A and B are shown apart, each in its own frame.
Chain A
Amino acid sequence: MNWTGAVRTMLVCAILIVLHYTLRPLLAWRASIDFLIVALLLGSVRLRPGAAAVYGFLLGLVADSIAVSPFGAAALAMSIVGFGASWLKAVFFADNLALNGFFLFLAKWIFDLIFLIVGHRAIDPELAMQIFVWSPLAAAVTALAGVVVLSLLKPLMDVRTT
């Protein structure tokens, strides 16, 4: 990745992070869009897995510091998801929006799964409801939003590492 591409990626990730803390509270949906996951995947696929894990860790720390959730849960989940996304970047970079959407969905669900299990520390019906109802819904919404963002920002990104 050249410098121009890196700057563009950072810019897009910054926009997504800003959107996460502006648009998301405005919408206030029960199953909300997670722009941080989109930013994480977008950056991770352009980094080595180790760097992606660090990127995820830092992004997770930011999320943990602002949210009331258990500190460190998002950092752990995002580290794993970032590492996995970077490791699977060949698949992710397939020029297929549906496949990208599926991986966004999978990433968000895995993130929620790790985050909820680590955060709750106990399995109860509410956790099951969250994992099997609200998390898939949020993952679907995030995947949809991610696909839209990828489509819109494709001309700006214009980076292919095939």
Chain B
Amino acid sequence: MATAARYGSRVDAGLLVGCVVLSLIAVVLKDEDREPIASALRRSIVAPLVGLQRGAERWRSAWVTSEQRQLASDSIAIRGIKEQAALVENDQLRKIVGLGSRLEWGFIPAEAVHSAAPSEDVVTNMTLTAGSVAGVQRYNPVVAPEGLVGVVQTADPTMSVAILYTSPDFRASAMSADASAFGIVYPHTGRGSAAYMLELRGVPTRVQLKPGTQIFTSGLGGTFPRGISIGTVVSELKTTEPWTRTYLLRPSVSPSHVTTVLVLTAQRVTQGTGNVWGAAVNTDSATRRIVAANDSMARQAALIEAQARRAALDSVRRATIDSVRRSLGAAVVPEPTDARDTTRARRDSARADTIRKRPT
């Protein structure tokens, strides 16, 4: 038994030594000698495994390629989205630059950071990146290229908070484009998309506004200058008020799209904004100015005509006096250049000539 075990151990050791020696021989073989052995193994016994490995590597490369394609298509899609966002931002900035160039002075540009709490259904305020150091004051109007956004509520040194037209505290005195109807704009009390609508209240019953009528700030109250676009009339709202009408307005500005705004300074509010938002009221005032100018021109023309008529009468009168003088044998005084002075001089000279001298 022990002999068999010893024999078995020797066999095991011998086999191990044999395997090790063969392996070492394989290791020390030259490439040209070992390659035929490896090649023969690959073509015979190991061929199925080679096929399996090749197939697995193909699957792997196909998977990697598809992953790379997916990544490439994803990056293209992301680039497209970014490009779209850049285009939108570029468009907004162009509009802001356009508004700034139209306003020329009296505004402070600021970036708008939306600060809606998760619990809020509607965005009611926004943080502006300009503060009192830049000149922002409380109650300064906040405008966008499309129209009125809100009003500054608090102004800290480096930032300020503005309430939007959706805020329950927001009010603006407003009027129709042709200044035929005045009222007060309130935020509309509704849910969902209706929460972003506005109401124009207090419009006299005799005035009826058609859907699509543009509504602008009226400038009354002093908070907003006249002529900032607020929105357009959508429909009339039924209320219990017998003497006034209330209209539902679609705001000109969508708060979610506002990223850059201009804060109008108090001085600019006092001086007005002119026809920046294309208000017909400004066109109307321009028309009035043109009419007034025409009137003054007409007055001037009438004045010139009256002077010419007077000059003509004077010359007729002079001619008559001269002929009378000639008939009486008196000397004719040459006509001076200045009509008014000559008249006076001629009267004097006529008197001197016509007075008979007393005999001495």
Residues of A within 8 A of B (CB): 17-18, 21-26, 28, 48-51, 53-54, 56-57, 60-62, 64-66, 70-73, 75-76, 79-80, 83, 118
Are A21 and B52 touching (Cβ within 8 A)?
A: yes
Are B12 and A83 touching (Cβ within 8 A)?
A: yes
Are B27 and A62 touching (Cβ within 8 A)?
A: no
CB closest chain-A residue, reference B24: A76
Are B56 and A73 touching (Cβ within 8 A)?
A: no
Interchain residue pairs with CB less than 8 A apart (15): A25-B53, A26-B59, A26-B60, A26-B63, A28-B60, A49-B16, A54-B15, A57-B23, A71-B27, A71-B35, A71-B38, A72-B22, A72-B28, A72-B29, A79-B23
Any A CB within 8 A of the CB of B37 = yes
Chain B positions 46 through 77: 1 when the CB is less than 8 Å from some CB of chain A, otherwise 0: 10011011011101100100000000000000
Are B19 and A48 touching (Cβ within 8 A)?
A: no
Are B12 and A50 touching (Cβ within 8 A)?
A: yes
CB distance from B251 to the nearest CB of A (A): 58
Any A CB within 8 A of the CB of B339 = no
Residues in chain B near residue A28, CB distance under 8 A? 60
CB distance from A65 to the nearest CB of B (A): 4
A17 to B45, CA, bound (A): 13
Residues in chain B near residue A71, CB distance under 8 A? 26-27, 29, 34-35, 37-38
Residues in chain B near residue A25, CB distance under 8 A? 53, 56-57, 60
A62 to B59, CA, bound (A): 22
Assuming the contacts A48-B8, A62-B41, A66-B42, asked whether A56 and B50 have C-beta atoms less than 8 A apart, the reply is no
Give me the 9 closest cross-chain CB pairs, A-B, nearest first.
A72-B26, A50-B15, A50-B12, A76-B23, A65-B41, A79-B19, A72-B27, A25-B56, A57-B19
Residues in chain B near residue A49, CB distance under 8 A? 12, 15-16
Residue from B16, B19, B42 within 8 A of A65 (CB atoms): B42
Any A CB within 8 A of the CB of B291 = no
Residues in chain A near residue B311, CB distance under 8 A? none
Are A51 and B15 touching (Cβ within 8 A)?
A: yes
A49 to B18, CA, bound (A): 13
CB distance from A20 to the nearest CB of B (A): 8
CB distance from B22 to the nearest CB of A (A): 7
Residues in chain B near residue A70, CB distance under 8 A? 27
Are A83 and B16 touching (Cβ within 8 A)?
A: yes
CB closest chain-B residue, reference A83: B16
Tell me the total A-B contact number using a CB cutoff of 8 A.
Answer: 104
Any A CB within 8 A of the CB of B14 = yes
CB closest chain-B residue, reference A55: B19
Any A CB within 8 A of the CB of B316 = no
Any A CB within 8 A of the CB of B20 = yes
A68 to B20, CA, bound (A): 20
A22 to B52, CA, bound (A): 6
CB closest chain-B residue, reference A27: B60
Residue from B20, B42, B50 within 8 A of A79 (CB atoms): B20
Are B15 and A75 touching (Cβ within 8 A)?
A: no
Any A CB within 8 A of the CB of B11 = yes
Residues of B within 8 A of A (CB): 8, 11-16, 19-20, 22-29, 34-35, 37-38, 41-42, 45-46, 49-50, 52-53, 55-57, 59-60, 63
Interface majority SS on B: helix, strand, loop or mixed? helix
Residues in chain A near residue B34, CB distance under 8 A? 71-72
Residues in chain A near residue B27, CB distance under 8 A? 70-73, 76, 118
Are B46 and A57 touching (Cβ within 8 A)?
A: no
Residues in chain A near residue B22, CB distance under 8 A? 57, 72, 75
A28 to B63, CA, bound (A): 12
Residues in chain A near residue B20, CB distance under 8 A? 76, 79-80
A26 to B24, CA, bound (A): 32
CB distance from B57 to the nearest CB of A (A): 5
A72 to B335, CA, bound (A): 140
Are B41 and A56 touching (Cβ within 8 A)?
A: no
Are B41 and A21 touching (Cβ within 8 A)?
A: no
20 more A-B contacts (CB under 8 A) besides A26-B63, A66-B49? A25-B57, A50-B12, A50-B15, A51-B12, A53-B12, A53-B15, A57-B22, A57-B23, A61-B26, A62-B49, A65-B46, A71-B34, A72-B23, A72-B24, A72-B27, A72-B28, A76-B26, A80-B16, A80-B20, A83-B16
Are B19 and A54 touching (Cβ within 8 A)?
A: yes
Are B46 and A62 touching (Cβ within 8 A)?
A: yes
CB distance from A6 to the nearest CB of B (A): 19
CB distance from A111 to the nearest CB of B (A): 13
Residues in chain A near residue B11, CB distance under 8 A? 50
Are B50 and A66 touching (Cβ within 8 A)?
A: yes
